[in-house]
Structure 1
Amino acid sequence: MEPSVKHFFDSYEDLQVLVIDDNTLIHDTMKKAFYDVGIREVRCAQNAYYGLRLCNDMQFQVVICAFNVNSDKDGFHLLEELKFKGHVTKRTVVIFLSTETSEAIVNSIIELQPDDFWVKPLTPKYVKERLAQTLKVKSHLYNMYQAIDRKEYSKVIYFADRHLQNKAIKSLHPNILRMRGEALQSLLEFEEAQKFYQSLLKKFKFGWVYLGYVRALLKQGRIDEINDLIKTLSDKPDTRFAMHDLLAQYHIEHEEFEQAYEEIKKAAALSPRNIDRNKKSWDLARLNHDHIGQYQATKSIVSNAKNSIHESPMLVLNVIRAGIDLALTITDGSADKLLQQTDHYIQQLCEDYKEASEFKEQITVVKARLLKARNQTKLALRLVENQVSLRPTPDLEDNLDKVKVFHELGMREEAMFLLEAIKNQISGDSLTSLVVSRYVEQEIDERSQIHFTPKQLHEMALEHFQKGRAKPALDTVLQAIQLAPNSVRFSISLLKIMIALKEEDVLSEQDYQYADKALALFDKSKIDGKTEEVIKPLKEAWLAFFRNPQDNQNEK
């Protein structure tokens, strides 16, 4: 019979071990410890590149990797790639090494679910003891790991129940129980999972038990029953990252996109290396009209995708696009600086990918948008008419950017034609598809009704106001705020206009909600002294309308 992976774990001399660390002293420590326990096949690599080459040549049962490999990609992205290429499965022993224990690193490591995490410096004694324990777990529970790899979750539960009857491996029961609970959730048996975790809470106080219990209830839509527990877990360092992630997923599923965005931002900040989460943050930022958040998310994606399987020139294009979107909401001189940065990104992209002719139209589109942002409309129009096709491309983001340039240049029929084509590109029932599809629906609705950029609308509102047309000014500034609800400057203009209309006694009580939102934005925003000097008298003037005469008399 051919030896299985389980036989490797039962017999140390047959194990094949890979160590990836740029410190050769770590290699020496590892080799000594492994040779002492009978492991003979130990390969070492000083960077991820050579580690990947070794994995292409042979199958390793144990992979030990430094989280920070300074010469190329870090351990997070390396393990991501090893999993993607099938070099690492649940049956592989994966151990991370690090000198750091910061919350961001620990959260990133927890996400990848390694079998162990060793803090440097290491000694042969420490290595031997921790390795022995890790191999023991992998050997005893091999059938469960194999079933997980095959997505046979009913088998996971069957093997778990058998192992739990074995008192000889009682120390492994928490591992077994955790895998059993995760299998129930993978089978979508959320009510049974809830009861399972509820029973565990009587005996264990592990973070994963609480999180499993909360997830099971969230999946049943029973959030009101666990609000206090959610708050507690959101405040605890060992559970807050996972809790924010769970809440983001819950709110997306219930189409509560503002709450989802707030939670995903917190999760992304606590574990910044996860590209999919950063992309989700970007999508939610767009849906919530947070142009600053959109720009920051795209830059974070580029930064964290460096040297990973996610790295792509398209990510840089998204930064450029988000930068232009943000610039079109800014009414002061900082917009010029942002557009200069965007110019630099375009130049760098063209230099890095000189042979990539497939980016030609995308670059033309962003250059035209830049020209339009700088009020060089004729040049932008000429560029688009000569070099940009109305034909949709297979890439959703390319098409969305074409829509923007058509819309900004007043080519509204072309913009709406492309938006209709984009609707057919949204497919799938994933949470990401749900967010993106809502964003496309929002784009279709807004671009069919609002024909100008936020910056243009704000300028038009100010012109109306200066010429004594306060009501048209209010209608126009509200459109600008719809497209850029986090703009403090737009809200300042709104409050000025509403004070004028209130003095004319032409506001309805329904209009007061707009001022309330502006005041709430001021309270939550980081405002410098100069802006605060502008806002303070406006707030006082607005609130004075609602004081009763007795209040005014008391102040006197």
Structure 2
Amino acid sequence: MDKELRNALEDFSQLKVLVIEENTLIHGVLTDALYDIGIKEIRCAQNAYYALRLCDEMHFNVVICSFNLQSDKDGFHLLEELKFNGHVNKSTVLIFLSADTDESLVNSIIELQPDDFWAKPVSPSHIQKRLKHTLQFKKQLFNIYQAIDNKNYSKAVYFADRHLLDKSLQKYYPNLLRMKGEAFLSLLEFKEAEAFFKGLLKVYQYSWVYLGYVRSLLRQGRIEEITEMLEQLTEKPDTRFATHDMLAQYYIEQEDYPQAYLEIKKAAALAPRNIERNKKYWDLARLNHDHKGQYKATKNIAQNAKNSVHDSPQLLLNCIRAGIDLACTLTDNKSDAILKESELFIKQLETEYDDSHLFKEQILVAQARIHNVRQENERAESIVENHLSLRTSTEIEDNLDKVKVFHELGMREEALIILKAIKNQITGESLTSQVVNKYVEQEMEERQEIHFTPKHLHEMAVEHFQKKRLQPAFESIQQALTLAPSNAKFSISLLKILLAMQKTNELAEPHFDAAQKAIDVLDGMKFAGKNLETVNQLKEQWLLVEQ
């Protein structure tokens, strides 16, 4: 295959080109331009389905793909699938077409590292000029691409050094230097990478040089040396996405999960199509008790994975579960609206996937949890007693949801048995495993100490408050805030309880700390009308207490 591609780069008549584009008029423009420079084997597909079928039939040296495919999956997810199936590698010439140049799309394209990006509409002269340049570049640096495809990064450094001695390749020096730096990082030679990129900063002002230098120092835990540079990079459109992504990785390694979450949210917003990043967003959201963020992340994953290699009934199940988790924190009509949405997801799962019968127990767990949130305890208990067992699944998420249904129904011993089994399921030293492992540890600790959902705890706090049992009311609302720390209604209730405790001389040092946390939460939110009036009044009253 390598010899065939090398020969094809020498003789265009041997090249095999695949064009993936919905518009047949653009097919005509591209094929005519390609024929005119000697390319004979050109296949066209109007959607991802036929593109994948063509790739199964033959290997293409050049793939020209529209990013804006609409009929089945977009160019981002199609390329993921082509890479996953081995149809596209570093040696393949990959070119993206798009009429759209908004920041999130450009970030997604950069992340896929195509050889070129053509903005529509394209002219024959533009096509021929850009493609000839790209093919020439690919031919000259073929051995480096081959080494990278084979994950032989030491050999990639060797070839880069040899090419950098060849003055006839001077116009390719920046690309060679970039591949050499990335090879150092792939080899985990961070000291060498630091020295390499630091030297380049004296000569080049390319974004990738700054990003490579930052990455090499972050991987050594030396963030304090580049704080000013990081601030600058997060403000520049061409570097902010990659910088937020790197910082998220860094803070996860440092076990600073709140800061990692802030960074991954920014990165995911700037490049929303990447499934793995959205999964990290989801894991960090639940670790930080952000139930709205968790629900948003699972819906993003399901939406962006639709018809892609990542598509799975499990993704809808995760939406259902995150929705129920969120509903457990809401105290008004919003809770039932979320539960109804979860029920719609259940129907969607049952109708859209032929193998939905394999998820019967998982659906029953979700239905039992929905009944429990609605305080239909008998119906929830009936499902658990008649259909569920302590037998664990191979899927960690299935087992976590079973823990929740047992715990929410007061079956705490059963919940802890499954949690311990989950702990043994988590393997690997990846950052994802680290975050999930921390989340399971947190679940074990909280479910041993806290026996109710945030919604139920708030209801208990209100009842205690109305009956003048202020210390039990405070303890209940504190537990609710442990599980849902950004809930505005819980924070408002906490301040009301503390103001009542001040009148009965029950305040102590921990109460002041709790009040400050609640005020910080409220300060970070926007209120209007009667809600704004209530919040301002409570804050003013508490300020008088502190004086």
TM-score, normalising length from structure 1? 0.97
Distance 1:65 1:243 in 2: 27
In 2, the alpha carbon distance for the partners of 1:503 and 1:227 equals 47
Secondary structure of 1:545 counterpart: helix
The residue that corresponds to 1:515 in the other structure is 515
Q: CA deviation at 1:2?
A: 9.1
What is the SS of the residue equivalent to 1:96?
A: strand
Corresponding residue for residue 199 of structure 2: 199
SS at match of 1:4: helix
Q: Answer whether contact 2:21 2:45 (CA < 8 A) is retained.
A: yes
- 5 Å matches for 1:338-349? 338-349=338-349
Residues 473-508 of structure 1 deviation map (CA, whole Å, 9 limit, x = unaligned): 111111000000010000001111122223333323
Summarize deviations over 1:41-100 as a string: whole Å, max 9, x none: 111111111111111111111000000112111100000000000000100000000000
Encode CA deviations 1:283-336: one digit per residue, 9 max, x unaligned: 111100000000010111111011100111110111111111100100111111
Aligned length: 547
Which amino acid counterpart does residue 417 of structure 1 have in structure 2? I
- Residue 9 of structure 2 aligns with which residue? 9
Opposite residue 528 of structure 1, the aligned amino acid is: A
Q: Which residue of 2 aligns with 1:79?
A: 79
- Residue deviations 1:237-261 (CA, integer Å, cap 9, x gap): 1000000000000000111000001
Partner residue, 1:393: 393
Aligned twin of 1:169: 169
Aligned-partner SS, 2:94: strand
Residue equivalent to 1:538: 538
1:44 aligns with 2:44: yes
**1:378 equivalenced with 2:363 (yes/no):** no
Q: Which residue in 1 is equivalent to 2:411?
A: 411
CA distance in 2, matches of 1:3, 1:116: 23
Question: Does the 8 Å contact 2:258/2:288 carry over to 1?
Answer: yes
Looking at structure 2, the residues matched to 145 and 426 of structure 1 have their Cα atoms a distance apart, in angstroms, of 35
Give the partner amino acid of 2:299.
K
Matched position secondary structure for 1:235: coil
**Distance (Å, rounded) in 2 between the aligned partners of 1:2 and 1:174:** 25
With over 3 angstroms needed to count, the CA separation of the structure-2 counterparts of 1:354 and 1:19, relative to structure 1, is closer
Q: Deviations over 1:436-477 (max 9, x none)?
A: 000001111111111000011111111111111211211111
Pair 31,503 (structure 1): closer, same or farther in 2 beyond 3 Å: same
CA displacement 1:102-146 (0-9 Å, x = unmatched): 001000001110101000000000000100111111111110000
Point out the more displaced range, 27-36 or 86-95: 27-36
1:273 maps onto 2:273 in alignment:
yes
Q: How far apart, in 2, do the equivalents of 1:34 and 1:337 lie?
A: 55
SS at match of 1:117: strand
1:553 alignment counterpart: none
**Superposed counterparts of 1:448-527, under 5 Å:** 448-527=448-527
Match of 2:97 in 1: 97
Q: Which moved more, 1:521-530 or 1:153-162?
A: 521-530
Aligned residue for 1:309, secondary structure, equals coil
Q: How does 1:243-282 map to 2 (within 5 A)?
A: 243-282=243-282
Alpha-carbon distance between aligned partners in 2 of 1:395 and 1:136, rounded to the nearest angstrom = 48
Q: Distance in 2 between the 1:325 and 1:71 partners?
A: 34
2:28 aligns to what? 28
Aligned-partner SS, 1:331:
coil
Residue type of the partner of 1:306? Answer: K
- What residue identity is the alignment partner of 1:416? L
Instruction: Give the aligned partner of residue 224 of structure 1.
Output: 224
For 2:355 and 2:458, the matched residues in 1 are separated by 41
Q: Equivalences for 1:285-434 in 2 at 5 Å?
A: 285-353=285-353, 356-434=356-434
Provide the C-alpha distance between the structure 2 equivalents of 1:543 and 1:191, rounded to a whole number of angstroms: 52
Q: Distance in 2 between matches of 1:147 and 1:329?
A: 52
Deviations 1:211-248 (A, max 9, x none): 10001110111101111110110011100000000000
Q: Distance in 2 between matches of 1:478 and 1:403?
A: 22
CA contact (8 A) 2:9 2:139 kept: yes
Secondary structure of the structure 1 residue equivalent to 2:546? coil
Q: State the distance in 2 between where 1:310 and 1:105 align.
A: 19
Report the counterpart of residue 551 of structure 1 in structure 2. none
Residue 204 of structure 1 deviates from its aligned partner by 0.7
Could you tell me how far apart the structure 1 residues matched to 2:352 and 2:56 are?
A: 28
Q: Give the structure 1 partner of residue 237 of structure 2.
A: 237
* Residue identity matched to 2:167: K
**CA–CA distance in 2 between the matches of 1:166 and 1:2?**
23
Amino acid at match of 2:180: R
Deviation at 1:357, TM superposition (A): 2.1
Work out the CA distance in 2 between the residues paired with 1:127 and 1:412.
65
Structure 2 gaps of 5+ residues are none
Distance in 2, matches of 1:86 and 1:30, equals 25
* One-letter amino acid matched to 1:451: H
Instruction: Tell me which residue corresponds to 1:439.
Output: 439
1:355 and 1:522 map into 2 onto residues whose CA distance is 45
Partner of 2:108: 108
Tell me the amino acid that sits aligned with residue 428 of structure 2. Answer: G
* 1:513 positional shift: 1.9
Q: Secondary structure at the match of 2:526?
A: coil
Residue 50 to residue 139, structure 1, CA distance change in 2 (3 Å): same
CA apart distance, 1:356: 3.0
Amino acid corresponding to residue 117 of structure 1 in structure 2: F
| Distance in 2 (alpha carbons) for counterparts of 1:528 and 1:261 | 28
Q: Report if the CA contact (8 A) 2:327-2:335 is conserved.
A: yes
How many Å separate the matches in 2 of 1:130 and 1:504?
79
Local SS of the residue matching 1:205: coil
Q: For 1:141 and 1:9, locate their aligned partners in 2 and report how far apart those are by CA, in whole Å.
A: 11
Q: Is there any run of 5+ residues in structure 1 with no aligned partner, and where?
A: 548-556
CA distance in 2, matches of 1:256, 1:239: 23
Question: 2:125: which partner in 1?
Answer: 125
Amino acid at match of 1:368: A
Distance (Å, rounded) in 2 between the aligned partners of 1:271 and 1:399: 31
TM-score by length of 2: 0.98
- 3-state DSSP of counterpart to 1:70: coil
Q: Which moved more, 1:530-539 or 1:283-292?
A: 530-539
Rounded to whole Å, the distance in 2 between the matches of 1:3 and 1:238 is 36
> Which residue is 2:57 aligned to?
57
Residue 544 of structure 1 and its aligned partner are, at CA, apart by: 1.4
In structure 2, C-alpha distance between the alignment counterparts of 1:95 and 1:433, rounded to whole Å: 34
Does residue 136 (structure 1) correspond to residue 146 (structure 2)? The answer is no
Q: Distance in 1 between matches of 2:412 and 2:36?
A: 74
Distance 1:70 1:347 in 2: 25
| Separation (CA, whole Å) in 2 of partners of 1:323 and 1:489 | 18
Are residues 176 and 229 of structure 1, via their aligned partners in 2, closer, same or farther at CA, if it must alter by over 3 Å? same
Q: Give the secondary-structure state (helix, strand or coil) at the position aligned to 2:234.
A: helix
Per mean C-alpha deviation after superposition, the further-off stretch among 168-177 and 355-364 is: 355-364
- The alpha-carbon deviation at position 20 of structure 1 amounts to 0.4
Name the SS of the counterpart of 1:391 in structure 2: coil
Aligned-partner residue type, residue 249 of structure 2? Q
Contact kept? 2:313, 2:356, Cα under 8 Å: no
* 1:181 correspondence with 2:172: no
